[in-house]
Chain A
Amino acid sequence: MAERMGFFTDTSVCIGCKACQVACKEWNLLPDDGFVFEANSYDNTGALGANTWRHVAFIEQSRPVPVDDSADDGVERWLMSSDVCKHCTHAACLDVCPTGALFRTEFGTVVIQEDICNGCGYCVSACPYGVIERREDDGRAWKCTMCYDRQRGGLEPACAKACPTDSIQFGPLDELRERAEERVERLHADGQAEARLYGESPDDGVGGAGAFFLLLDEPEVYGLPPDPVVTTRDLPAMWRWAGAAALSVAGAVAVAFASSRKGARR
């Protein structure tokens, strides 16, 4: 397997231009999401889904300011963040896929093979981030491939290529983690104590995300789960229990048969 590749999305330099969203759709030939004014800051596409594999969230953090207090802004911050599939180390979607449509690539990413997916939708409910969605017209599940085709051709993913401020960085995951640590330290030194990484730790509930983030507030603010856990975390234990249970049932049955044989001998 080649080096594990990933995304580091540094939201502190995101300008909300949505070039990532557009580049993703252009490259992957995704359908539009419809034309609906959502009156939700500058976000009119809602969330990640079958047809939106990069999504920029806009969070206006304002507080009412009396007009006379002209020393201060009404808006404190306008947070922007480009969300994407996390390409988890422990990927529940992969675990539950019954057809083998989902697989781990040589880049350590998680990809759905559209010609194998049968649309069962197990992966949809398995994803702790709510990233995967089935497309209404064909029923199959779709999500970010981290531009598997581009990577195989030696190119970086379309979103990272299009990002003008390097908010989206693509590279070997180890390097990205180092870079991200430095960036957080720099922001802390500049007085941005609220800067933190999300999804970078191999010790978290998904074993670390292949696509992780630098956030300027709590994950919930961006619509991200604060402590995601791979939904199949308990599967091995469950199998153990199931195994034990099965063994004891089998034992009981065996005992029963043995007893009956005993009885039969009688």
Chain B
Amino acid sequence: MAECHPVGFQWVVEAKARGAKVFHVDPRFTRTSALADRHLPIRAGSDIVLLGALINHVLANELDFREYVLAYTNAAVIVSADFRDTEDLDGLFSGFDPETGSYDPRSWAYEGMDEETPSARAPGAQTPGEHLEGGRHHAAAAGADTYGSGGAAAHPTPATDPTLSHPRCVYQILRRHFARYTPELVEQLCGISRAAFAELAEAITANSGRERTTAWVYSVGWTQHTVGAQYIRTASILQLLLGNMGRPGGGIMALRGHASIQGSTDIPTLFSLLPGYLSMPHAHRHEGLDDYLAREGGDVGFWGHRRAYLVSLLKAWWGDAATEENDFCFDHLPRLTGDHGHYTTVMGQIDGTVKGYFVAGENPAVGSSGGRAQRLGLANLDWLVVRDLTLVETATFWKDGPELETGEMRTEDIATEVFFLPAASHVEKEGTFTNTQRLLQWREKALDPPGDCRSDLWFYYHLGKLVRRRLTDDEIDRPLRELTWDYPEEGAHRDPSASAVLREINGVGPDGRALSAYTQLKPDGSTRCGCWIYCGVYADEVNQAARRRPGREQSPVAPEWGWAWPANRRILYNRASADPEGRPWSERKAYVWWDAERGRWTGQDVPDFEPNKPPDYVPPEGARAEDALAGTDPFIMQSDGKGWLYVPTGLADGPLPAHYEPHESPVGNPLYAQQANPARKVYPRPESPYNPPESPRFPYVLTTYRLTEHHTAGGMSRPLAYLAELQPELFCEVSPQLAAEVGLDNGGWATIVTSRTVIEARVLVTGRVRPLRIQGRVIHQIGLPYHWGWGGGGLVTGDVANDLLPLVLDPNVYIQESKAVTCDVRPGRRPRGQAMLDLLEVYRHG
């Protein structure tokens, strides 16, 4: 965190000054470790073992926050008798289809899912089980992403056993599932000693409960794995058991990799989502609006209002053209036909099915895994548009890419027409950043962009205008013809007004005035809203994201600095900060509570609960949406209002996390016969072959990361002298022991090899990387920052670390496994040209 989020790390330093104990779990000793109380070196790719052992420690010693767990989680829920655990099936959950490599999650359901329970079913609701097709659906279209956040449906009033003793209740299933995740296993697989584990386990359990809370912070070290989503799930289980969710000082914080990556998930650049985590409709599954709404998500909890959210979105986009009669132009939305993720798109380019490509603010030729496949795809396009601050490698691959040196490509053979359009930087345009805390912060334009540089907003708005000028009366052009595309223009370059866009996202009511809360959204087309979770950012016609009241002038929650979605809440699910009766768990941790006299929830933050719903509220028969949640159900976006220790539906790879080895691992999986995540997404193609597991040719673990001094693939930092001089060359970090074993000299050169490619890097020998003893063997890890490329206007250049990485993905969110792969390393510089390909052949075929 100090390494990649130094500004955010000031708060860790401050917490430490107030007595917080900081543990840092990382393969390397980093700048974060330097300030932590304890550093726990871990083998990359083994975190579920560590977290699972912490869960086992909590369960075996009954250290869970029992009152919280009973009231606010699904610990007591009884699961279907059809469910089989990885303990029963040697690493598989029930429902796995080896042919498609995907799960049918029906057997994971709560008991009684197949029976109609009238109390939870309103007329017209879908039949139970219909939405459970999710497993297959998302296997085809990444639907798990939308299910996970967008309201996977579960039985709202399932059978429970409050004594937690029923053998099929979630609590007992957890106990059995994690029983083999022991400190001994942690030592064997993670390389963390029993003593170090004991200290961590003692610290987090002692620091959780009524009086205290513990927070976990992660970044892509947890996500970029073939089991990435399940890493976060494991942490979620632990935090729910310890009562650390929805409470001040608790939670699981995801540090994002760019200034507004949270924003680009909320108003997504992801193929499978519409704004506000509404799922993108599917071509063959969703005939019309009603059909889409019936299939996507549950009816209980706030997702029960998804018609209001979607209709308001359609009204924002198509205005008066969107009417009740035409399904509010639902048919104007593009449809999915399957997986359109980044890597699948690249495969489409290589296969010639994807002809054109817009690349904005990204540099996939250097920044994405398996760069060779990326560049083969780029070379096979008809046209390519690159918008960036400098001439990044993605725009120049055709004249100076690594494949030219090896002779695999010749410039004269590449027919791709490349359009490079210079972009404005963040100080040259106005708009918002949404940070990891869901906080929108408006920033002003400091100066005009130079020359032909323009903001993305300018580019897409004017591109849209140009396209619309060319439209015909043909039906096929109707969606674009009817689109609302009329922002006020400002300045010499006719920039569309960013605040007008933010106001459109906020939404307006029937009177044309800005709405102030998403609870005002209507399903009848009388409201318009570009992203329902952002509704309120322009409340009272004021840009709330621009607020800058200093923290010292307001409460510690600082509600008047920027604006956090939803409804300016700073901690989500904060109903859980009070006990079931609505009283703070302790004075020390008081945050939001029930004021019985005034009959409303109150506290330091905006309560994440209906303000007037008393703690003793019991939903009446047939209630829908939030009315179907009880006064003790804090997790209001879940269809049962509970925190899910066990996930009955919504995940592609199982209802519980299980340790699987990375796709490429030097060791076997001692827990199950199943070596790697059975549902992981692989691309078995010649452009990007895999290292075999446990291969003696690739004995070392490779992990990639970023340094403070640079940003991602270097497009924004390598051209700047003051940053480039601080880390001028690609280097690998190796332990003194590995350096001695292989013959690497500090300051010398190393050649690193995977089945994808061969690269060279300078050597930094450091005790900050240390060998670990895994299953009785010494395992060496090699660290590799990935900021360099061959050009990109950089003052400093170097080989492309990401070229080493395999194309293998997490099945829920389609992120690549870039944190734990295998490699070989040898002293000296790499061979050039054909000699490099020859060396690669030796490694590929041994």
- List A residues at the B interface (Cβ < 8 Å): 13, 15-19, 21-22, 25-26, 31-39, 41-42, 44-45, 60, 62-65, 67-68, 70-71, 73-75, 77-80, 164-166
Contacts and interface: CB of A to CB of B under 8 A. Distances in A.
Contacts of B724: 32, 35
B725 interface: yes
Question: Which of B9, B31, B39, B192 counts the most chain A CB atoms within 10 A?
Answer: B31
B678 to A, nearest CB: 31
29 contacts: A15-B6, A16-B708, A17-B31, A17-B708, A18-B726, A21-B726, A22-B726, A26-B722, A32-B721, A32-B725, A36-B728, A39-B763, A42-B707, A44-B727, A45-B725, A60-B767, A60-B768, A62-B766, A67-B772, A67-B778, A70-B196, A71-B193, A71-B195, A73-B29, A73-B41, A75-B767, A75-B768, A75-B770, A77-B34
A75 B33 CA distance: 10
A18 B2 CA distance: 12
Given A16-B34, A77-B34, A60 B9 contact: no
Contacts of B10: 164-166
B725 A37 contact: no
Give the 10 A-B residue pairs with the shortest CB-CB distance, closest first. Answer: A62-B767, A39-B747, A35-B728, A74-B770, A32-B721, A17-B6, A37-B729, A78-B34, A15-B2, A74-B767
Contacts of A19: 6
A32 B722 contact: yes
A73 B34 CA distance: 12
A198 to B, nearest CB: 19
Q: Could you say which of A15, A26, A45, A65 has the most chain B C-beta atoms within 10 Å of its C-beta?
A: A15
Among A18, A71, A74: residue with most chain B CB under 10 A: A74
A79 B726 CA distance: 17
Contacts of B41: 73
A22 B767 contact: no
A164 B723 contact: no
B431 to A, nearest CB: 24
A1 to B, nearest CB: 31
Contacts of B737: 67
A71 B770 CA distance: 12
A44 B727 CA distance: 7
Contacts of B773: 67-68, 70
Interface string B172-197: 00000000000000010001110110
B622 to A, nearest CB: 54
Nearest to A31: B721
Contacts of A42: 31, 707, 727
A73 B39 contact: yes
Interface in B181-220: 187, 191-193, 195-196
B766 to A, nearest CB: 6
B768 A25 contact: no
A33 B763 contact: no
Given A75-B767, A165-B10, 5 more contacts: A15-B9, A22-B722, A39-B731, A67-B773, A164-B7
B672 to A, nearest CB: 24
B721 A70 contact: no
B736 A39 contact: no
Most buried by A among B34, B746, B764: B34
A159 to B, nearest CB: 13
A64 to B, nearest CB: 7
Contact of B31 (A15, A35, A73): A15
Contact of A64 (B32, B196, B736, B769): B736
B35 A34 contact: no
B725 A44 contact: yes
A70 to B, nearest CB: 4
B709 interface: yes
B55 to A, nearest CB: 22
Contact of B9 (A22, A32, A164): A164
A63 B736 CA distance: 10
Interface size class of B (residues with CB under 8 A): 35 or more
Given A32-B721, A39-B747, A60-B767, A70 B29 contact: no
A58 to B, nearest CB: 9
B6 A164 contact: yes
B125 interface: no
A11 B749 CA distance: 32
Contact of A35 (B6, B7, B796): B796
Contacts of B769: 74
A36 B766 CA distance: 18
Contacts of A67: 737, 770-773, 778
Most chain A beta-carbon neighbours within 10 Å: one of B708, B726, B764: B726
A34 B7 CA distance: 27
Given A15-B2, A18-B709, A67-B772, A33 B9 contact: no
B735 interface: yes
Contacts of A36: 728
A35 B770 contact: no
Contacts of B725: 32-35, 44-45
Contacts of A39: 731, 746-747, 762-765
Nearest to A19: B6
Contact of B191 (A65, A70, A165): A70
Contacts of B764: 39, 41
Contacts of B742: none
Nearest to A37: B729
Contacts of B796: 35
B20 interface: no
Nearest to A23: B722
B709 A15 contact: no
Contacts of A32: 721-722, 724-725
Contacts of B6: 15, 17, 19, 164-165
Nearest to B762: A37
A46 to B, nearest CB: 10
A65 B762 contact: no
A18 to B, nearest CB: 6
B840 interface: no
A15 B7 CA distance: 10
Nearest to B7: A164
A88 B728 CA distance: 34
A17 B770 contact: no
B590 interface: no
A78 B29 contact: yes
B637 to A, nearest CB: 34
A165 B13 contact: yes
A33 B770 CA distance: 32
Contacts of A166: 10, 13
A29 B811 CA distance: 49
B29 A44 contact: no
A128 B44 CA distance: 47
A210 B6 CA distance: 27
B785 to A, nearest CB: 11
Contact of B768 (A21, A38, A74): A74
Contacts of A31: 721
Given A18-B708, A35-B725, A70 B193 contact: yes
A61 B74 CA distance: 48
A42 B6 CA distance: 15
A62 B192 contact: no
Contacts of A65: 770
B795 interface: yes
B202 to A, nearest CB: 15
Of the candidates B13, B29, B721, B722, the one having the most CB atoms from chain A within 10 angstroms of its own CB is: B722
Interface in B458-506: none
A44 B726 contact: yes
A21 B708 CA distance: 13
Nearest to A190: B19
A80 B29 contact: no
Interface string B741-757: 00000110000000000
B738 to A, nearest CB: 11
A165 B9 contact: yes
A108 B723 CA distance: 32
A149 B763 CA distance: 42
Contacts of B2: 15-17
